[in-house]
Amino acid sequence: MSENKKPIIGLTTGDLNGIGLELIIKTFSNKSLFDYCTPVLFASNKVLSFYTKSINEQFKYTSVKEWDKLNPKALNVYTCWQEDVKITPGKLTPEGGKYAVRSLEVAVQCLKDKQIDGLLTAPIHKKNVQGPNFNHSGHTPYLKETFGASDVAMMLCTDYLKVALLTEHVPVTQLEKHITTAAIVSKTEIVHKSLIQDFGIEKPKIAILGLNPHAGDDGLIGSEEKAIIMPAIEQLRDKNILVFGPYAADGFFARSAYQEFDCVLAMYHDQGLIPFKTLDNDEGVNFSAGLSIVRTSPDHGTAFEIAGKNEANPSSYLHALYSCIDILAQRQGYQENTKNHLAYGTHSKRPRRNKPEDRG
């Protein structure tokens, strides 16, 4: 991606019976977005046509087979399958998961081949995507394996709050074996590097939450804070990473202490995502930190209960698109500024690129 070239953003369908395609149609009905990226949807014309009939019959798109024929002023549909697929909005079906995986596989291959610059994934349902080609609890572990990353961090982002997870889709009965000093160090290092290269924060401050109520109350309600989390914090400080904690999660968010930090590391899924989704104003973005590629997604699921009813709110999806574009540009700038081992940046934060509605 050169400085003067719009990024090509690959879009996956998500579950065909969820709200993913509705979000895509609603988002790219705004033609001004084509000034900032060239979107490519990995699907089929028939699938997209099914949803345009009920959402926006005037929606125009371009079917493409060759990468040098992309239309820079429209949504491009790269055909991943020819066969007819039964679509039943709101239903959990094998077909919905099978073609969600097919869309993802083709998009990822194109990402590997550098035919697209970034990836924006629509929601999948974790149950019906399981199979020989996909045996993962979500997009993040799949992409970790596919791109050979030693570790990744699921990071939920808005302009004013970022929350990373130590553990992701793990049953609470299995948390104990995943919460280790080494895991905390690894995730925090990934988050620290991402905040610098992907978000332009020169010296990020990271808060680490405790595991137990009241962060253990000095050992009265659990020993993990003293035995596991504090040793990790000490190791990270020895590496000159600005980390603080462990903090009791309830008071930390209730008193808006997150505003003093660039990111928060939560110990488990609901500890971080409940407050995040309460505060995100439908602007939350899921970003996979630690990958060699840039992937974002909306911070919600398939929403089967409203699928096919033209009720889906595209706000989170739209912000995921903004974020993918901005992170690609930020990462490119970082790589250019550091390739000669020059000091990166002169301020604590680089200005954030404006969203499309603010540009020009």
Question: Which residues partner with 79 through β-bridges?
Answer: 43
Establish whether domains 1-149+291-360 and 151-282 are of one fold: yes
What gap in Å lies between CA 243 and CA 227, rounded to an integer? 17
Q: Are strands 153-157 and 285-289 parallel, antiparallel or unpaired?
A: antiparallel
Query: Averaged over 118-123, what is the pLDDT?
Result: 97
- Could you tell me which of 112, 42, 75, 20 has the C-alpha nearest to residue 320? 20
Q: How far apart are CA 151 and CA 130, in angstroms?
A: 22
Q: What confidence tens digit (pLDDT) does each residue in 150-208 have? A: 999 999 999 999 999 999 988 999 999 999 999 999 999 999 999 999 999 999 999 99
**Domain regions of the chain by residue span:** 1-149+291-360, 151-282
At 214-270, the pLDDT tens digits run 998 888 899 999 999 999 999 999 999 999 999 999 999 999 999 999 999 999 999
Q: Which CATH superfamily is domain 151-282 in?
A: Isopropylmalate Dehydrogenase (3.40.718.10)
Tell the CATH topology of 1-149+291-360: Isopropylmalate Dehydrogenase (3.40.718)
Strand-pair category, 75-79 with 118-120: unpaired
Q: What is the pLDDT of residue 360?
A: 37
pLDDT at 354: 44
Report residue 227 as tokens. 């035995």
